[in-house]
Structure 1
Amino acid sequence: MVASIFEGRMPQLIVFDLDYTLWPLWIDTHVTGPLRRDGDELNRIVDRYDEEIAMYQDVPSILRRLQRTPNVKLALASRTHAPGLARRALELLLIPPLENDVGEPIAAKKFFHYEEIYPGSKLKHFKSLHHTTKIPYEEMLFFDDEPRNREVESLGVTFTLVKNGLTLNVFESGINQWRKLHPINPQSSDS
């Protein structure tokens, strides 16, 4: 079931919020720089006071599987007031290879093709992503923990509310929701 959700029609751009979507904290209020890796641990760094920063359990495998999914780009859209800390955390957090895969850990930052990390409305983030990528809003899927950010639906973006962090089940639900809203046109598949 897990692998099958990554097969079939996918949005061209999948966008993630950071705080309480990919990791369980607000980077601008719960974290004090500098950040550092604690030994050889993957997907775990600490701040000045040894407070842990790590992505939710399913996030690394979701990112790794999306990396293998053709024609899908990934982006971040965060309204944090600490964009520098967010970017530093993404540089330091290492994503391990999938189970039974050979390969090196990769910095989380390298999974994302585009970043909109600054204070402001998610409408502004998505208008910028649309302008930069030229990807239609209908080909975008957004995962975020704040219901107010559902406002991006006014642009045509599919929004999935994340409660208690991004999980494989939430991801699958978002993909299924997007597919239901944007089914393949049967006439276009005949040509």
Structure 2
Amino acid sequence: MSTNQDEGKYPQLVAFDLDYTLWDLWIDTHVTGPLRRDGETVNEVLDRYNEKISFYKDVSHILHRLRRVGNSNIVDRGGAITIAACSRTYAPTLARKCLSLLLVAPDSKSGDAIGGTRPAIEFFDELEIYPGSKITHFKALKERTGIPYSEMLFFFDELRNREVEQLGVTFCHVPNGLTNEIFEMGLEEWRNRQ
């Protein structure tokens, strides 16, 4: 099922920061392991003190959309889309564990029930989750994937990471968590540069 939003060219790689971009906390300072999920609860992981970790409300739809568009036959979409998580955290093991436990439901907005409920980590093709510069993260992505920087779009909550633009990556600032509107703005900025 495609929607009007699916039309148009997409970058070959879309990357997301985690903290304050996909969820509303810093995994290395606000969360204490071990992490757990209660049964099959969707979009909620609990830490040792029952603090909740959840994606912002539009994130699962955006992840489903990227998978749907990347797997569809939309003529102008640009081919398969690589989804990456790029986080400069000092708790990479905790971040990966959270992505493994956090369940994403089928996308009710598009009627996309392919695969049913599944762990968030299954949506990500690449993980650059460790302390260090975003320049380092994107150089590693380019080396592994062969995707040119001009075909990369990066969503992040901190303006200082605009530094990736010196490589040719399109940067989209996410001031208050990723929303459908901000995602559209990022796509539009990337398309305008093509």
| TM-score (normalised: structure 1) | 0.92
User: Cα distance, 1:41 vs. partner?
Assistant: 1.5
- Paired residues for 1:23-172 under 5 Å: 23-70=23-70, 71-99=80-108, 100-102=111-113, 103-172=115-184
User: Cα distance, 1:40 vs. partner?
Assistant: 2.8
Deviations 1:14-33 (A, max 9, x none): 00000000000000000000
What fraction of aligned residue pairs are identical, expressed as a percent? 57
Letter in 2 for 1:21: T
Letter in 2 for 1:158: T
| Residues 77, 125 of structure 1: 8 Å contact kept | yes
Aligned twin of 2:19: 19
Deviations 1:31-76 (A, max 9, x none): 0000000233101010000000000000001101111112111001
User: Cα distance, 1:163 vs. partner?
Assistant: 1.0
- RMSD of equivalent CA atoms: 1.2
Q: Distance in 1 between matches of 2:4 and 2:159?
A: 28
Letter in 1 for 2:10: M
**Which segments of 5 or more consecutive residues in structure 2 lack a partner in the other structure?**
71-79
* C-alpha spacing 1:101/1:131, structure 2 compared with 1 (3 Å): closer
Letter in 1 for 2:144: T
Letter in 2 for 1:38: D
Q: Distance in 2 between matches of 1:112 and 1:54?
A: 16
